[in-house]
Structure 1
Amino acid sequence: MWMGIDLGTQSVRALLVGDDGAVLGSGAAPLGGRRDGVRHEQSPDDWWEAVRTAVGGAMASGPGPVRALAVCGTSGTVLLTDGAGRPLTPGLMYDDGRATAEAELARVQPTWALPKAMWLLREQPSTAGVHLTHQPDFIVSRLVGRRTATDSSHALKTGYDLTTDTWPHDRLRALGLDPGLLPEVVRPGARLGEVGADGESATGIAAGTPVIAGMTDGCAAQIASGSLGVGSWNSVLGTTLVLKGVTAAPVHDSTGVVYNHRAPDGGWLPGGASGVGAGALGRAFPNADPARLDALAAAHEPSTALAYPLVSRGERFPFLAPDATPLLLGEPRSDADHWAALLQGVGHAERLCLDYLDHLGAPQDGPLTFTGGGSRSAYWNQLRTDILGRSVHIPRHSEPALGMAVLAAYGAGAAPTLADAAGRMVGLSHVLRPDPARTARFLQPYLRMVDELERRGWLPAPVATHARTRADALETS
């Protein structure tokens, strides 16, 4: 059995997975946090308690020992710890937007880990023994019983240079990050250590179990989707929307909207993280019955309102607009109409993300898969498929924790390549085909959204023009 642990925004999820991809045990535990405007924090100790609960649930139904495990976390989530691994600060979450001044100095997005680290060091001045720690590093250190290396996937947004596989110490030192703050970095799939005696006592995972370096949650979902061939893409719809693909060479983007992870066994995984997503549904309808509203939303295609459903202030992909706010044009006629506007708005944003990737020259000739919690909605899956106007693959299981189980198997030597491990453990549920009539029905709302985003100065004119050109080509094909 292989274990994958996913440190999500709203919960921690643990899966035990067999060599054939069968889920043999699962567990979950909720996470809270503090949101206040652009502020978003969680307690690292809460992460650990949630991991213990989730792992306990998975182990309770598991038929045998864990061969290896890997952990993924939210991209850009960091904290400071002391020499013993104890948290000195809260965890600044992936979408915390307070480090705007630091981001300008570092010339990256405010939600990246690098400006957050600079902000934390300003609030908590560096002293001997203080370490910069990524979200999964904190959990792994508790499991192993000592500070370990981090993986290059989580280190990317802290400024790690994937082309040279080094920390750019001169640049980081100029920004206030002393080399002693930074962890050693290894490639995903490397062995970080083994579960220690305290880790076994806390979780029930046997001491000596290998702990394999993981990846960010978006990359983990990509592995879980099986989308590992060049030109393939995976769209992860959870609290927010993340698109990850596979290319032979990095996709260059001077704005930094699209960035590139390094695959565990070579190649590149470009992508971006949007601020739209299912979290907007929860904000607008905190006590909703999603299945009931999905059924009612079918009568509102398209909705009388047009939404760009940001979960919180600021957008990172398919354009960079730190001051962007959730958008709702028009007055919905009912809750069902409002719900439909939000569902459709995510689909329009997703289409714009793919248009932006095409604008950058990223290949998209491979399969597109849907994963994440949003993919549990059959109605939303088909709606997004129709808005995009292209076929979509739905994997049998779509959780980032599955991707980490696959990576654990690869890292422990159970398969010669990551693709081989995924080929054995990832199964396809079904394929969705777009309805041309519905695709045509949503074309004008999509173009109206592009126009509005450009008018507000959020979407650059060349990107808007490219989106219109692609829409024309699709309409006439």
Structure 2
Amino acid sequence: MQDEALFLGLDLGTSGARAVVIDAEGLAVASGSAAMADFGPDPRSPAVWWAAADHALRAALAGCDAKRVAAFAVDGTSGTMLPVDDAGAPLSGGLMYNDACGDAGVLACIAETAPPTSAAHGSSSGLARAVLLARAVRPHLVLHQADWIAFHLSSRFVTDANNALKTGYDPVAGQWPDWIGDAGLEVRLLPRVVAPGTPVGPVTAKAAAEYGLRPDALVVAGTTDGCASFLATGASEAGDGVTALGTTLTLKILSDRPIFAPQSGIYSHRILGKWLAGGASNTGGNVLLAHFTPERIAELSARIDPAKDSGLDYYPLLRPGERFPVADPDLAPRLTPRPDDDAAFLHGLLDGIAGIEAMGYARLTELGAPPLARLRSVGGGAGNTVWSALRQRRLGVPFAAPDSMQAAYGTARLARAGAARA
């Protein structure tokens, strides 16, 4: 029965793998995790990726009735690429999402051929990594990390539109564009693309036997770890936003139309019938921790009245340069005057970051996104209740608690959506 079905999400993150199993109501019933470092020292090794994924899968399935798992999906780090032969065997190590392309010729060729709205520009380009790998070996295909992990379970070479975005995929036209060939990579070396949440097919007989799955368990097209983290919060309607208050400040909002502003690093992912757009500022917890310890921040926050403005006009940055909501590589930090009272200074920092957050959502609206209607917050700063109250007063929208902060939970939701489509 469908109400007895379970759905599994597998997340390949920066340092490890995590699997979460949910039921039809979205309740997490089992989980498992593994650190990459436990299986080898090389984070670029696909053998290490798979060992961690396998361990997390087995641990999660041991905590539930594996025969009830109706569908599963995989997310991986955005832009991590791997060349494989026609049997899916890796031909080299992967190039990771944070391996900057240092080949000026490759980057220049992409810059000359790719449309300005493409996410394939820059040293973090998945396409640039794919070009380098295709030159180094003679691959059958160049896959994304999530594609290769899912291949172990489905034996199908398929990717999703979210992972494909930084590799040059056109999410509006819904295809690999011809200009990719002019940029240095034969399009035939890239896998078929489907929408995230699309049923790809049943699990292989081998995987079903190894993991105790039923033979008709579906493999569903996954997404990136960033998109999965957004889905995990429960945001689902146009106007729903998620702010990540981590080392930097990242804003994302669901839109009924795509938003592109490459000068600010803004691109749009197509997911579950809507568009996910967002931007990242250089402000955030990095500035706070440059001045105070976490313990001191908690102590000083208790002395701040969030119903009042700080009276300080700060733009908190560690160093000159901003991406979003202002695209200015020379923008100077604004952190003066500094009051003698540390609580007043912290109030100014929190107020300044909250102001940048409000500017960011306003900027996304200017670019075509719907006005922010409801907000969920994740990251370390989300636990500061004084800051949350200050931010809510500035934004003027309801705040909702995130359902989960685990990317694997969001991917499990994607698996559930895929099963509903089958």
Q: Output the amino acid matched with 1:137.
A: D
Alpha-carbon contact 1:236-1:371 (below 8 Å) kept: yes
Separation of aligned partners in 2, 1:315 and 1:25: 41
How many residues were matched structurally? 396
Separation of aligned partners in 1, 2:10 and 2:262: 34
| Structure 2 SS opposite 1:213 | strand
Identity %: 34
Q: Output the amino acid matched with 2:144.
A: H
Separation of aligned partners in 1, 2:146 and 2:94: 14
Residue 238 and residue 414 in structure 1: after superposition, are their counterparts in 2 closer, same or farther (change >3 A)? farther
Structure 2 residue aligned with 1:67: 70
Deviations 1:82-110 (A, max 9, x none): 33332513332157464665444323233
**TM-score, with normalisation over the residues of structure 1?**
0.69
Deviations 1:107-164 (A, max 9, x none): 323323123323444xx435252x22112112111222x3421011111111111222
Separation of aligned partners in 1, 2:373 and 2:31: 31
Alpha-carbon contact 1:56-1:203 (below 8 Å) kept: yes
Residue 190 and residue 119 in structure 1: after superposition, are their counterparts in 2 closer, same or farther (change >3 A)? same
Establish whether residue 118 from structure 1 lines up as the match of residue 131 from structure 2: yes
Separation of aligned partners in 1, 2:180 and 2:356: 34
Establish whether residue 217 from structure 1 lines up as the match of residue 225 from structure 2: yes
Which of the residues 127, 141, 144 maps onto 2:138?
127
| 1:45-124 correspondence to structure 2 within 5 Å | 45-64=47-66, 65-83=68-86, 84-86=88-90, 88-94=92-98, 96=100, 98=102, 102-107=106-111, 108-121=121-134, 124=135
Q: Output the amino acid matched with 1:141.
A: F
Alpha-carbon contact 1:82-1:88 (below 8 Å) kept: no
Establish whether residue 136 from structure 1 lines up as the match of residue 158 from structure 2: no
Structure 1 runs not aligned, ≥5 long = 34-39, 416-477
Separation of aligned partners in 2, 1:345 and 1:26: 38
Q: Output the amino acid matched with 2:58.
A: G
Separation of aligned partners in 1, 2:353 and 2:43: 25
Structure 2 runs not aligned, ≥5 long = 1-5, 112-120, 305-309
| 1:74-473 correspondence to structure 2 within 5 Å | 74-83=77-86, 84-86=88-90, 88-94=92-98, 96=100, 98=102, 102-107=106-111, 108-121=121-134, 124-129=135-140, 131-144=141-154, 146-169=155-178, 171-200=179-208, 205=213, 208-237=216-245, 241-253=249-261, 255=263, 257-264=265-272, 266-273=273-280, 280=286, 292-298=295-301, 307-308=316-317, 317-318=324-325, 347=354, 349-371=356-378, 375=382, 378=385, 381-382=388-389, 384-385=391-392, 388=395, 390-413=397-420
Give 1:186 deviation, angstroms.
0.8
Deviations 1:157-203 (A, max 9, x none): 1111122211112x111111012211111111112233335545665
| Structure 2 SS opposite 1:413 | helix
Separation of aligned partners in 1, 2:99 and 2:387: 24
Q: Which moved more, 1:244-253 or 1:326-335?
A: 326-335
Residue 338 and residue 325 in structure 1: after superposition, are their counterparts in 2 closer, same or farther (change >3 A)? farther
**TM-score, with normalisation over the residues of structure 2?**
0.76
Alpha-carbon contact 2:362-2:371 (below 8 Å) kept: no
| Structure 2 SS opposite 1:214 | strand
Structure 1 residue aligned with 2:30: 25
Separation of aligned partners in 1, 2:379 and 2:385: 13
Alpha-carbon contact 1:100-1:115 (below 8 Å) kept: no
**What is the CA RMSD across the aligned residues, in angstroms?**
4.1
Separation of aligned partners in 1, 2:327 and 2:209: 45
Separation of aligned partners in 1, 2:288 and 2:204: 39
| 1:1-16 correspondence to structure 2 within 5 Å | 1-16=6-21
Instruction: Report which structure shows greater RCO (CA 8 Å, sep ≥6).
Output: 2
